[in-house]
Amino acid sequence: MKIVSLLPAATEIVSALGLLDCLVGRSHECDFPEEVLDLPPLTRSRLDTSLPSETLDREVRRIVEQRLPIYLLDDERLAALRPDVVVTQEACEVCAVAKEQVVGSLRRTACAATVVSLLPTRLGHVFEDVLNVARACGIDGRGERLVTELRGRMRAAMPAGKRPRVAVVEWLAPPMLAGHWVPESIEAAGGMAVGPAPGERSKYVSWDEVRALRPDAVVVAPCGFDLARTIHESRPWAELLRSIAPRVLLLDGNAYLNRPGPRIVDAIELLAAWLRGELVPAERGSDLQSQMA
């Protein structure tokens, strides 16, 4: 079997299912596990993702307003790989190649691959997506075992006691509060999510609106940014963030919160420990206070 994954979360699902040896192509953003970097990238972005947050946001809006795809797919390279299964998504046009692009590419090149499209908006959908990928690849039982393991870890992470109010900032300039599966991830970690309801889209807000939510803690996890980029982008906002909540965590959201794949459970375990007052491993996150010292 040959699998192409056009979404980082899907690549992580394929890996967790033990199918890494079947993966023959990836998106340019698929970077975990490290071995996938040796595979040919089949997509590219119209955007320069190194731009500052505010400029990057403005460029995304401009491209969307022009009704252009943000990501481009290499039809010829995809067809040459002759995959049996292609995993894509239809949840967010800003995050990855859209399902319509993939279906159109396969039709143009007469490639008879099975398309699995992920559409996660709630935490439970992440586990359903694992089952759907496993089913398409003919390993239903392996998928069920993985989901049982992930759900068990999630239940074990949930602490008892008082639930602090937690706001998750998914973008800094302009500020955006995280929706979709993130509120339920906060609840699973022992917090009370403030902001969008579970399943709702992430929402642009003002900093005054964030303050009005009276969070006890703020998690800063900009979509697509690793920890080093998050720390760098947060520096101009450090004093403001500390004025909003006594505890602020800068998180590698690209790895542990933004991607609706198996590592969302890693994120829940990490956040549960932090909300209990434990230190977060330096390679995963950083307390804002330590950055200001």
How crowded is the C-beta side of 213, counted as CA atoms within 13 Å? Answer: 23
Q: Output the CA–CA distances (angstroms, integers) from residue 248 to 4, 17, 55, 64, 287, in the order listed.
A: 38, 34, 24, 32, 6
Nearest to 125 by CA among 210, 185, 48, 43: 185
- According to the model, what pLDDT value does residue 151 have? 97
Contact 218, 226 (CB under 8 A): no
Task: State if pTM tops 0.75.
Answer: yes
What is the CATH code for 159-292?
3.40.50.1980
159-292 and 3-119 share a CATH fold: yes
Give the list of residues 6+ apart from residue 242 with CB closer than 8 angstroms, or none.
248, 288, 289, 292
Measure the CA dihedral 158/161/162/163, to 10°: 10
Cβ count within 10 A of residue 96:
28
Which residue has 């800003």 as its token pair?
94
Contact 208, 174 (CB under 8 A): no
Q: DSSP for 152-198?
A: HHHHHH---S---EEEEEEEETTEEE--TTHHHHHHHTT-EE-SSPT
Q: Supply 256's token pair.
A: 């542990």
Give the list of residues 6+ apart from residue 161 with CB closer than 8 angstroms, or none.
190
Domain 3-119 class? alpha beta
Q: Supply 269's token pair.
A: 């375990």
For every one of its 293 residues, what pLDDT tens digit does the chain have, with 9 covering 90 and above? 999 999 999 999 999 999 999 999 999 999 999 999 999 999 988 878 888 888 888 888 888 788 777 788 999 999 999 999 999 988 666 666 777 888 888 888 888 889 999 989 999 999 999 999 999 999 999 999 999 999 999 999 988 778 999 999 999 999 999 999 999 999 999 999 999 999 999 999 999 999 999 999 999 999 989 999 999 999 999 999 999 999 999 999 999 899 999 999 999 999 999 999 998 888 888 887 666 54
Contact 41, 28 (CB under 8 A): yes
Residue 278 CA to residue 270 CA, distance in Å, equals 9
Q: Is the dihedral of CA 252, 224, 84, 141 positive or negative?
A: positive
Residue 285 CA to residue 71 CA, distance in Å, equals 29
How do the residues of the chain divide into helix, strand and coil, expressed in percent and rounded to 5?
A: 45, 20, 35
Q: Return the domain boundaries, the chain.
A: 3-119, 159-292
